[in-house]
Amino acid sequence: MKVLKAGYEILSNISDGGIDELKHIEKIGRVCYKSEDKISEDGESAKRFVKMLIDRGHEAMIEHSSLTVKFIVDRGVSHELVRHRIASFAQESTRYCNYSNDKFGNEISVIDVTNGMKLDGKMSTMSSYDIANVLKEWNEAMMDAERHYLKMIELGATSQIARSVLPNSTKTEITITANYREWRNFFKLRVAKTAHPQMREVTVPLLKELKNRIPVVFDDIELEEK
């Protein structure tokens, strides 16, 4: 059994300073106001324009954009990700992936819960002794699940049937494409302290990176790291 850390990878190319992305929205949005004459080459007008759109709630204009991110998370978190309806998805299939095959190392992969526990308001105050006991229990459950999964396949079950014993902690890769309006809605819900800690484990650093790489678009979304 492999125990992996959760993570993400931005698959879209983002231009230097994120300026091309803003210029694209500006070019489209200025059609509404017939203010194309205000476009400046350096991208400063684009920054001002996109900020104005967001401040006014004219967010339909920022739908003219696309961002693809691959998340490496557990199946519990991925169940939450796929609830976002204005997005497109591609997810590692537990029907078609047979983890007993050599290509998967004949073992299942699970996402480590340690970081999630640290971000969990209640668990973060537990003693290291109690935390170690919880982790030990989790680890045993994962090993048991793997043993049953591999045994079912050895006995002739297909992966799509044996998957029924895979735990929520099973590692999955899920690629999401959405426009900036949808990502904004996503981040407002999924970086908030009310979001699941293992969701926040990936969304908080992702939002932080996007704030650095694309000006204006995500600036007003609060980022509470703890």
Q: Please, which residue, 82 or 161, has the CB nearer to ligand FAD?
A: 82
CB of 178 to ligand FAD, least distance (A): 8
The angle subtended at Cα 84 by Cα 78 and Cα 85, nearest 5°, is 130
Tell me which of 189, 205, 208, 213 binds ligand FAD, using CB under 6 A. Answer: 189
CB of 121 to ligand FAD, least distance (A): 13
Tell me which of 16, 128, 194, 226 binds ligand FAD, using CB under 6 A. Answer: 194
Choose the stretch contacting ligand FAD; rule: CB under 6 A; options: 43-51, 149-157, 189-197, 214-222. Answer: 189-197
* Spatial distance between the Cα atoms of 174 and 75, rounded to a whole number of angstroms: 10
Give how far the C-alpha of residue 187 lies from the chain's centroid of Cα atoms, to the nearest Å.
9
For residues 146-175, b (16+ Cβ closer than 10 Å) or e, as one string? beebbebbeeebebeebbebbbebbbbebe
* Spatial distance between the Cα atoms of 187 and 208, rounded to a whole number of angstroms: 11
* Residue 50 exposed, middle or buried by CB count within 10 Å (0-12, 13-18, 19+): buried
Binding mask 59-98 for ligand FAD (x = CB under 6 A): ------------------------xxxx------------
CB 187 within 8 Å of CB 218: yes
CB of 171 to ligand FAD, least distance (A): 22
Task: Please name the helix (run of DSSP H) or strand (run of DSSP E) that holds residue 205, with its range, or none.
Answer: helix 197-213
Binding mask 104-143 for ligand FAD (x = CB under 6 A): ----------------------------------------
* Spatial distance between the Cα atoms of 223 and 188, rounded to a whole number of angstroms: 9
185 scored as a contact of ligand FAD (CB under 6 A): yes
CB of 221 to ligand FAD, least distance (A): 14
Choose the stretch contacting ligand FAD; rule: CB under 6 A; options: 35-43, 168-176, 188-196, 210-218. Answer: 188-196
Q: Please, which residue, 8 or 186, has the CB nearer to ligand FAD?
A: 186
For the residues of 167-186, what is the DSSP string, one character each? -TTBEEEEEEEE-HHHHHHH
Which residues inside 11-70 make contact with ligand FAD, applying CB under 6 A? Answer: none
- In the chain, the amino acid numbered 158 is T
Binding stretches for ligand FAD (CB under 6 A): 83-86, 182, 185, 189, 194-195
